[in-house]
Structure 1
Amino acid sequence: MKNTLGEIIIYELEDTPRIIVNNQIINNATLKWNKEGCGQGFLTLDGIAKQINTVDVIYVWCELGLSGKIYIYNNYDDEKWYLHGTTRGYA
């Protein structure tokens, strides 16, 4: 079965993503965000993992005012994305 979470699109401004590797927050400006067809940048979760290019675990927190999702990559050394949890908005 194919893991399709990697195809989820993360928007740089709308989702206010926080990317964490080894307890360090990765500055979103270090990533090359696609900007074709819309004013804000976007990447898939797989695109984020490809650019970060690490064997370490990657967390991506996407929070909106009333809800949010936390994704985790390579937690089991399997190079797959998992939905790690949900939030009820900004913590």
Structure 2
Amino acid sequence: MHRIYFDTNEGPVGNDRYGLWLDASLKDMEPIADQLHDGLRVVIYMTGELEMQATLEFDKALNAWTARPIAGTIVIYAETHSRGEKADDDAPA
């Protein structure tokens, strides 16, 4: 499954999606640009913090790709938990 960087500070867009317009996101999408389509299942990740599966959606108003998280797929990296941080169980699903 393709992996695309995201940042929780770039969303939620429309209350349930994250924006994929950061340079790191665009870099991850560049090699698969010809495969991107609405509904494509990917893994979105924040380096050293978390990852989750999501489906892509192109937002015409923003002229950008967004990712809609899939409920129940979030993985919090161990080093995040070791710092005493908690998972956001209320993350958009």
Flag whether TM exceeds 0.5 (same fold). no
* Structure with greater helix share of residues: 2
TM-score by length of 2: 0.32
